[in-house]
Structure 1
Amino acid sequence: MLRSLQSARCALCTQVFQRCLPLVRHKRYFTVQDASAALRPFYFVVHPDLFGQHPTERAVNENSLKLLNEYLAVHPSLGKTEPKEMVFYIRSQDSSGPGLKQVKICLTTSNLRDTVMAILSTCGLSNSHVPESSGIMYGTNRPIEWHHTYYTATGKKNPHSRKAEKAVALTLRSWLQLNIQRSRQHEESVRYIQDDIARLLDRLRRELCLKDIRFDSVWGFHHFRGCLKSFDRLYRDHPDFLKFVLKDRTLVFSNSTGVSRLGEIVLSSEDVPQTWFTLLRSVGAYEAVLHRLPTMEAKLSSLLNGIQVVRREKTHCSVMAEEYELLLNKLLNSLRRCQDHVTSTFQDQDLSGLQLVVEGEASPLMLSSLGQFLIPASVPGSLVVDCIKEHRAKAQQILVDIQGFLKEEEQSRLEAMDALGVSDMKKDESVTPAQMISCCKRLVEEHWRLGVSLADSRLRVSHYYSVMQDGQICIPWDWIGDDD
């Protein structure tokens, strides 16, 4: 009787163990694909296309998205993720508040799901759609809460602590001291990739007789090397054809595929080589379009008393030749219908000292910081005339001053490079010449107080602090000094 009872107990334990075993062994990891899907609501509210009337904020979001994409792309390969801070602009949900709200997102965790949750939470977005994950699952999602002595012993931050942290102003000196070594480590870890890129660029330029090869995408240098290697294989398969098509051309790896309005051959970093080859076979068909563009621009100029029509390319946004032709044609038709208004407004006044840029239909009608009139193709011609009339004097003054500003900006940049000993110094598109000049002058005046050597570093003036995956150092143009 006792023996049969023991056998029954063993059988029961075996059944329970077998039923629980799948739960114990089942794993559900939060992947980069999960992160991309979970962040769709976030991408919707910060997408640059939603900020057509706010070019500065649009550029900030473009640069921050590039940083975030790079961060997420390499996240699985990092054993420990270093903190990163980035700035985004979102539209305020409060109708009584300002139209746009600045949001600072600080990525401090090495857990990919926690990173996504933090981004959504910071922007006030729901996170109920984010799938669960925590490695091994035991049939429950209850988080582990460690005793406070664990955090004391390990030096880790207690996420459940309710103690308010005192906000401390982050100075350039303190941030550099904390991050310069990380920048050096990143530079060293990717040096072989950068050398590989330089080698491929040099050989392809030389063998294909290219004017230039440029990478102008939101993705990082890993993707650039991948593009170059894929293109190199395509070149080896069709050497004579590519030499014929690309001679004296500029090749750009960007976010779209086509021939730009500047005549540059643009290949999307997300397309396969076969798609690239299909475009390259049809490059000759674009010559007629490129030939028509100057004639259409001259006609547009004549409709506005000789105003200069210039082409402006934005970072990560190449306007294709056929698209630009459609935009020009739409604006030409609009202005032809209001020539009486042009004549009565400007009469025979010469407007050749002004500059006009034809933009996409979602762009704002405005005067840019460079003194150029940005004209969306969909706007009525009468509004174009009124805008030019209203801001004409200001535009002329900016164009007179801008050359001096750009010259002073370049001089300030070179002086800052010399004082800091950096190998390269650039700025984000959203940083104005006046902001760049102010930043560079302060760097020259206070370089001796930084407390670290920036020799041979690469510096980028932006709106936030960050260390890029290739070691490039981003600093805000209005950085805080120790005496500020």
Structure 2
Amino acid sequence: MLKVSLTGARWIAHNKLIQHVQVTVRHLNVQETAAALRPFYFVVHPDLFGKYPRERSVNEESLKRLHEYITCLQRSGSAHPTVLQFFFRPQQLPTEKPALQSVNISLASRDVRDTVKTVLSSFHLPLDYLSSVPHKPSPASGQPDRPIDWHPSYYAATGKQDPRARPSSTVDISLRSWLLKNIEKSHSFLESVQSTKEDIDRLCSALQVSIGLSDIRWESVWGFSHFRGCVKSFYRLYTEHPERVGGILKGRSLVFSNSTGVSVHGDIVLSSEDVPTYWMTLLMSVRSYEAVLERLPLMEEKLSQLLNNIQIVRRKRKHHLVMAEEYELLLNKLLNSLRRCQDAAKTKLFNNDLSHLQLVVEGESGPLALCPTGQFLVPASIPGSILIDYIAKHKQEADKIIRDMESCLRQEQEVVTFCQAELELSALSKDESVTPQQMVDCCQKLVDEAWLLGVSLKGLCLRVSHFYSVMQDGEICIPWDWKSSSLD
């Protein structure tokens, strides 16, 4: 593969081209697609078919092909039509235990949203989240921003709705009306996973006491049943090798996720998709990662010095774990780039102390940005001259955001604590994309209008997001800007 070094204006033009291509071909981004398909994964995941090896194998292969199909659509806007077969367990009746059933899904759409809708509809799964994600038409620069006037034959051939024949309308749902329809579903799901949660708590407590683990966490999009399976498998591994496993993990944090390794924070990460034998291989090599973990603060300190003592922060993101070896490579790449640009740093940053600002090395590639919390998000592949110029231009804006954010974060913590106690919620959280100010506004409104909701939220788990949904574990998601309830 030919590798081209892009610098200066060429690098900016390259990124603009990439962003343009992504905007024009992606109707749902990767995160939105994963969130929309989450209920589907809970139905067909291969781990649910341990006693049925053939059906498990079919679902594994079909999931792989579905992922490839969606990836092709997101990258190029086209994919070869295909038919996928999935096995699933139909809803059990009180007096019988039905056999597995299969569904064949024909995929021929060139649109990610339509593909996801087809998959969910094939299993009669709710489309609440998919409907809540707005369409994002983004015409190329210089082109008129107007809808395309398709010929009626287009709608006849594709089966899509002609907006001229039936104007679309958006139903503005109030929180009260949505809760009245879905609160019982949440209670039912909560009750169904209660025994699973109790098993997890019992096993985790036993492991923490026996090994001396500081923490056991679940950082995966899969539900509690998968977490319980992982903890049970690990518990068996520990009982077979108590001295070896215990000696390695004492005082450490254990995380079950979608990858295996040692995280940048020193946590031991085990993939829920790996077998215990592979876990043991990692555990035996944990000591070798200590040298890497010791080098990271030294590299961060050097990077900070090259940028006038700016703080280098390791951002924690849910379901996104950065491994120590990967982070070391990212730091090294950025350091090498900045070492060649010290004249530019002296010219544009002068001798100004930037220790009040924060920088996050965010992956190999991606946009250079100032995030809503005031941190500079920096891809390791960016030329040092562009990074220095960006910091010089946005340092005052970043400083103002950080100062404003400090008071907002304190207010958010106070309001969340009060709201959880006032509504007697068992848990109250938010999506990473919800800003502190949005969380404050939502919680204050919940407390003020709790008497209008028409239902009690006592004992429920509530997550502030951008859509309405009831998760498989009973957690309720509501948009932060929910419509005020009405008694009508």
User: Taking structure 2 as the reference length, what is the TM-score of the superposition?
Assistant: 0.70
Match of residue 389 from structure 2? 386
**Maintained 8 Å contact 1:249/1:264:** yes
Q: Distance in 1 between matches of 2:184 and 2:354?
A: 54
Partner of 1:173: 176
* Alignment gaps of 5+ in structure 1: 1-49, 78-87, 95-108, 134-161
Residue 482 (structure 1) shift: 3.2
Are residues 444 and 274 of structure 1, via their aligned partners in 2, closer, same or farther at CA, if it must alter by over 3 Å?
same
Q: Distance in 2 between matches of 1:267 and 1:359?
A: 22
2:203 alignment partner in structure 1: 200
The answer for the alignment partner of 2:41 in structure 1 is: 69
Aligned residue number for residue 259 of structure 2: 256
SS at match of 2:477: strand
Instruction: State, as a whole percentage, how many aligned pairs show the same letter.
Output: 49
**Corresponding residue number in structure 1 for 2:17:** none
C-alpha change, 1:212 and 1:384, in structure 2 (3 Å) is same
1:25 maps to none
Tell me if 1:123 matches 2:113: yes
Report the residue type matching 2:360 in the other structure.
V
Instruction: Specify the code of the residue in structure 2 equivalent to 1:255.
Output: N
- Shift of residue 252, structure 1, vs aligned partner: 0.5
The structure-2 alpha-carbon separation of the partners of 1:271 and 1:93, relative to structure 1 and needing over 3 Å to count, comes to closer
- Give the corresponding residue for 1:230: 233
* 1:474 and 2:477 aligned: yes
Match among 223, 247, 251 for residue 244 of structure 1? 247
2:452 and 2:486 in contact (8 A); partners too: no
Partner of 2:160 in structure 1?
none
Report if aligned partners of 2:333, 2:380 keep a CA contact under 8 Å in 1. Answer: yes
Show CA shifts across 1:136-167 (max 9, x none): xxxxxxxxxxxxxxxxxxxxxxxxxx999975
1:178–1:369 CA distance, 2 compared to 1 (3 A): same
Give 1:217's match in structure 2, choosing from 198, 220, 224.
220
Shift in Å, 1:324: 0.6
SS in 1 for 2:184: helix
Provide Cα deviations, 1:375-429, integer angstroms capped at 9, x if missing partner: 1000000111011111101111111111211111111112221222211111111
Aligned equivalent of 2:354: 351
Q: Is it true that 1:426 corresponds to 2:416 in the alignment?
A: no
Contact residue 230 and residue 273 of structure 1 kept, 8 A: yes
- 1:444 is aligned to 447
Q: Deviations over 1:316-372 (max 9, x none)?
A: 121111111110000000000110000111121111111111111123211111111
1:399 is matched with 402
Instruction: Using the TM superposition, give the Cα deviation of residue 127 of structure 1 relative to its aligned residue in structure 2, in angstroms.
Output: 10
Aligned residue in 2 for 1:30: none
Which structure has the greater CA radius of gyration?
1
Alignment of 1:306 onto 2:309: yes
Is 1:210–1:250's contact at 8 Å kept on the other side of the alignment?
Answer: yes
Contact 1:65 1:218 in 2 (8 A): no
Once the two structures are superposed, the pairs formed by residues 88-103 of structure 1 within 5 Å of their partners are none
Write the distance in 2 (CA, Å) between the matches of 1:64 and 1:276.
Answer: 30
Q: 1:191 to 1:74 in 2, by over 3 A?
A: farther
Q: Please give the alpha-carbon distance, in whole angstroms, between the structure 1 residues aligned to 2:318 and 2:257.
A: 10
Aligned to 2:319: 316
Residue 53 (structure 2) aligns with = none
SS in 2 for 1:252: strand
1:280-311 alpha-carbon deviations (Å, 9 max, x no partner): 00000001111111111111011111111111
Q: How far off is 1:73 after superposition?
A: 4.0
The answer as to whether partners of 1:357 and 1:374 remain within 8 angstroms in 2 is yes
Distance 1:93 1:436, change over 3 A: farther
CA distance, structure 2, for counterparts of residue 205 and residue 65 of structure 1: 34
With over 3 angstroms needed to count, the CA separation of the structure-2 counterparts of 1:59 and 1:414, relative to structure 1, is: farther
Q: Could you say what secondary structure the match of 2:446 adopts? A: helix
Amino acid of the residue matched to residue 451 of structure 2? W
1:112/1:338 CA distance change after superposition, 3 Å: farther
CA 1:75/1:119 → structure 2, altered by over 3 Å: closer, same or farther?
A: farther
Give RMSD over aligned pairs: 3.5
**How many angstroms apart in 2 are the aligned matches of 1:120 and 1:70?**
25
Corresponding residue of 1:377:
380
**Counterpart amino acid of 1:426?**
S
Q: Secondary structure at the match of 1:123?
A: helix
In structure 2, stretches of 5+ residues that fail to align are: 1-21, 50-69, 78-89, 92-100, 124-164
* Deviation (angstroms), 1:481: 1.7
Contact (CA 8 Å) 1:59, 1:429: kept in 2 or not?
A: no
- Structure 2: how far apart are the matches of 1:243 and 1:188? 34
CA 1:354–1:166: 2 relative to 1, 3 Å: closer
Residues paired across the two proteins, number: 378
Instruction: Give a deviation string over 1:404-459, Cα, whole Å, max 9, x none.
Output: 11111111112221222211111111111111111111101111000011111111
Residue type of the alignment partner of 2:41? N
C-alpha distance in structure 2 between counterparts of 1:353 and 1:303, whole Å: 15
The Cα of 1:220 is off from its aligned counterpart by: 1.2
For 1:118 and 1:191, locate their aligned partners in 2 and report how far apart those are by CA, in whole Å. Answer: 40
* Amino acid across the alignment from 1:123: R
SS at match of 1:228: helix
1:449-464 map, 5 Å: 449-464=452-467
SS, match of residue 205 in structure 2? helix
Residue 7 (structure 1) aligns with: none
Whether contact under 8 Å (1:254, 1:268) holds in the other structure is yes
Output the CA distance in 2 between the equivalents of 1:425 and 1:116.
Answer: 40
- Aligned pair partner of 2:296 in 274, 293, 300: 293
Instruction: Give secondary structure in 1 for the equivalent of 2:259.
Output: coil
Counterpart contact for 2:264–2:293, Cα < 8 Å: yes
Structure 2: how far apart are the matches of 1:468 and 1:365? 34
CA contact (8 A) 1:117 1:127 kept: no
